Amino acid sequence: LAQRLGCAGQVCFLGQQKRIEELYAAADVFCLPTFADPCAIASVEAMVCGLPSVTSRFNGAAEWMQHGRDGFIVEDPANAGELAAVLEPLFDAGRREEVGRAAAAAAARFAATEGEDPVATAVEEMARICRSERGMA
């Protein structure tokens, strides 16, 4: 598909990964404009790793985001213009860093309020690993 669309030099299909935190650590932005997902844990993992996370209103994880502050929520995941408008400001490294810090704080608040919930525990563990991968204390 990437070859047919002329973007094979810019897209890699990696398949299943055992150390996803390494990919989060290497990324600048996480984008999952899903059409249906009760709660995409990948969006929360990205946030806890300090990545600006872009998703759609159809992702239950969007309930933990404040659009424009600690994440971005598109109304229509099929609308390429809307998605581009949300992604364009994230080309600025300062804006990515600002949103990434807010995203990590929002995810940490979620983990702290959920106690022994398995999702919260997974979020806390991912945060620990991501801080380690990014060389943060």
Query: For the chain, first and last CA: distance in Å?
Result: 41
Q: Is the pTM of this model over 0.85?
A: no
R_g (Cα) of the chain, nearest Å: 15
The Cα 62–Cα 133 span in angstroms is: 25
Confidence band of 35 (pLDDT split at 50, 70, 90): very high
More confident residue, 86 or 125: 86
pLDDT in tens, 62-73: 988 999 999 999
Confidence band of 120 (pLDDT split at 50, 70, 90): low
Q: Enter the DSSP assignment of 38.
A: S
- Stretch 115-134: mean pLDDT: 66
Helix (H) or strand (E) holding 55: strand 53-56
Tokens of 80: 């390429």
